């Protein structure tokens, strides 16, 4: 088959690299309108940092994996077209701040309608509101083009930072199709792709609507676990219970399970917030306000957790951080990714800047330009003078030197093995550490002389 994937982002790139690696007889071309991104996929510095991704791309690229800006040409030759474009929260008009913005999806559908040929299978890989396949079908049908088609839903469950492992050994692959002979045949063609490496019993087939809705539901459930444990972390801080101990105690109950119980400064990433907001909007749309309110509370709790972290930091630093140097360790929304979308670090830094602190930020994978863009500030003013309230440090020890406090905002492994004695020696005293990820050995740091605040522990 000729497989085309529209959208060379965090999902399209890694997913298609894995399909190309496992299915050498298929030709996989990933297309994007973003020329810089495609150039990066064709270079030695990929636009997405993901452990293990470089090796897979190196093996398959040029063999049966291609990255191109020729969107129309690739669609015209494709038998199977994955749509993997972004579906961010709408920022304008009806549903602003909640509904998913489907303009990129619609553009893809219209482009497919204009140029596709033969018998094609269109696969929704992007995360979409339930019943989007209906709109895609109507656009494809309405064009009277020279092709027949089936629309499948095949949501992606990979998490960033572990994408290659998740793709290589998924808990399940979900394929939703129309329950007609043609729909079942199309679903089988996609099952056959995954069956190259995924055990057949882990490939679930459902109707299209269940598949679309399952993706939003999975993210809502995962985020709800994080918000639930974060809610308990606030109570722990008030009562001298330790949230790490509570999480271990409840996680060993096999009905609850140990995963996604790590209390933190708040969840980030491009998916959780947007997908829950999307679910909330759908519930409101279908006249279910109680259901909408129930899920919205997961976001409310997450916002509370982020602002609570800053309030606690300011309170501990004698109620002012004005003109103080705060070292921020980690800016990505989680470890092992260069992605900063909805990273709690953005909100924490903005609040600290609002309090007139100077933030010195160190992250091993995030580029300085990305950090300035996320914080809505320029690196230099009109006269070329450097921004002196946001300093991006290449060296973690320089970030901490003469700081009043260090805040850990991403759980990068390297932060656990820093020379904390050296950091302490070079900081102002009292030296404070705010461990927003509960990754450090608080007792060892206290022995050095630090004053340590974790999340949900005193």
Tell me which residues are annotated as active site.
271
Integer CA distances (angstroms), 359 to 202, 312, 316, 320, 412, in order: 46, 17, 17, 14, 19
Report yes or no: 393 and 399 within 8 Å, Cβ to Cβ.
Answer: yes
Nearest to 409 by CA among 351, 331, 323: 331
Q: Which of 159, 204, 241, 291 binds ligand UDX (CB under 6 A)?
A: 159
Structure token pair of residue 179: 């329950």
10 binds ligand NAD (CB under 6 A): yes
CB of 34 to ligand NAD, least distance (A): 4
Please give the Cα distance from 128 to 132 (Å, whole number). 6
Report yes or no: 21 and 140 within 8 Å, Cβ to Cβ.
Answer: no
Nearest to 228 by CA among 207, 200, 251, 210: 251
231 binds ligand NAD (CB under 6 A): no
Nearest to 126 by CA among 3, 274, 225, 266: 274
Q: Which residue is nearest to ligand NAD (CB)?
A: 9
CB of 452 to ligand NAD, least distance (A): 32
Q: Which of 3, 4, 5, 9 binds ligand NAD (CB under 6 A)?
A: 9
Q: Which residues pair with 211 in a beta bridge?
A: none
* Residue corresponding to tokens 């509570």: 246
Q: Which of 1, 2, 24, 34 binds ligand NAD (CB under 6 A)?
A: 34
Of residues 207 through 226, those in contact with ligand UDX by CB under 6 A are 219, 222, 226
Beta strands in 146-247 (DSSP E): 147-153, 173-177, 203-207
Q: Which of 52, 59, 61, 107 binds ligand NAD (CB under 6 A)?
A: 107
362 binds ligand UDX (CB under 6 A): no
Please give the Cα distance from 113 to 357 (Å, whole number). 53
* Nearer residue to ligand NAD within complex by CB, 160 or 355: 160
Q: Which of 101, 124, 160, 374 binds ligand UDX (CB under 6 A)?
A: 160
158 binds ligand UDX (CB under 6 A): yes
Question: What mask, x for binding ligand UDX by CB under 6 A, covers residues 366 to 405?
Answer: ----------------------------------------
127 binds ligand NAD (CB under 6 A): yes
Report yes or no: 17 and 65 within 8 Å, Cβ to Cβ.
Answer: yes
Q: Which positions touch ligand NAD (CB under 6 A)? A: 6-12, 31-34, 37, 71, 84-87, 104, 107-108, 126-127, 156, 158, 160, 270-271
- Binding footprint of ligand UDX on the chain (CB under 6 A): 156-160, 219, 222, 226, 260-262, 264, 267-269, 271-272, 333-334
């Amino acid at each position: 088959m000729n497989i085309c994937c529209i959208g060379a982002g965090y999902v399209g790139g890694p997913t298609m690299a894995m399909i190309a690696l496992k299915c050498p007889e298929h030709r996989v071309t990933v297309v994007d309108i973003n020329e810089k991104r495609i150039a990066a996929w064709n270079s030695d510095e990929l636009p997405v940092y993901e452990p293990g991704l470089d090796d897979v791309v190196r093996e398959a690229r040029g063999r049966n994996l291609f990255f191109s800006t020729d969107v129309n040409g690739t669609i015209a030759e494709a038998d199977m077209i994955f749509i993997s474009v972004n579906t961010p929260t709408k920022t304008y008009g009806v549903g602003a701040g909640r509904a998913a913005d489907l303009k990129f999806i619609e553009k893809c559908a219209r482009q497919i309608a204009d140029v596709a040929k033969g018998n094609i299978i269109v696969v929704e890989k992007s995360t979409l509101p339930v019943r989007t396949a209906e709109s895609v079908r109507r656009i494809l049908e309405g064009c009277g083009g020279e092709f027949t088609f089936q629309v499948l839903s095949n949501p992606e469950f990979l998490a960033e930072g572990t994408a290659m492992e998740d793709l290589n050994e998924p808990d399940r692959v979900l394929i939703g199709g129309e329950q007609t002979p043609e729909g079942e045949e199309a679903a089988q063609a996609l099952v056959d792709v995954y069956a190259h490496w995924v055990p057949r019993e882990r490939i679930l087939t459902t109707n299209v609507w269940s598949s679309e809705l399952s993706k939003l539901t999975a993210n809502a459930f995962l985020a709800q676990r994080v918000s639930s444990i974060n809610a308990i972390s606030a109570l722990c801080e008030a009562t001298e219970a330790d949230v790490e101990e509570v999480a271990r105690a409840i996680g060993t109950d096999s009905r609850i399970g140990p995963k996604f119980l790590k209390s933190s400064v708040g969840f980030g990433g491009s998916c959780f917030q947007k997908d829950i907001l999307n679910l909330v909007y759908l519930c409101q749309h279908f006249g279910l306000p109680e259901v909408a309110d129930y899920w919205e509370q997961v976001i409310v709790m997450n916002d509370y957790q982020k602002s609570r972290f800053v309030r606690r930091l300011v309170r501990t630093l004698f109620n002012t951080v004005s003109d103080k140097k705060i070292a921020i360790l980690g800016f990505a929304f989680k470890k092992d990714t260069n992605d900063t979308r909805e990273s709690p670090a953005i909100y924490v830094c903005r609040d600290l800047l609002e309090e007139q602190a100077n933030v010195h930020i160190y992250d091993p994978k995030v580029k300085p330009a990305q950090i300035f863009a996320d914080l809505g500030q320029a690196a230099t003013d009109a006269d070329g003078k450097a921004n002196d309230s946001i300093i991006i440090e290449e060296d973690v020890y320089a970030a901490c030197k003469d700081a009043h406090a260090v805040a850990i905002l991403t759980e990068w492994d390297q932060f656990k093995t820093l020379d904390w004695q050296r950091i302490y020696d070079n900081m102002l005293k009292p030296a404070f550490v705010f461990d927003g990820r509960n990754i450090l050995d608080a007792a060892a740091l206290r022995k050095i002389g630090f004053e340590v605040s974790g999340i949900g522990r005193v």
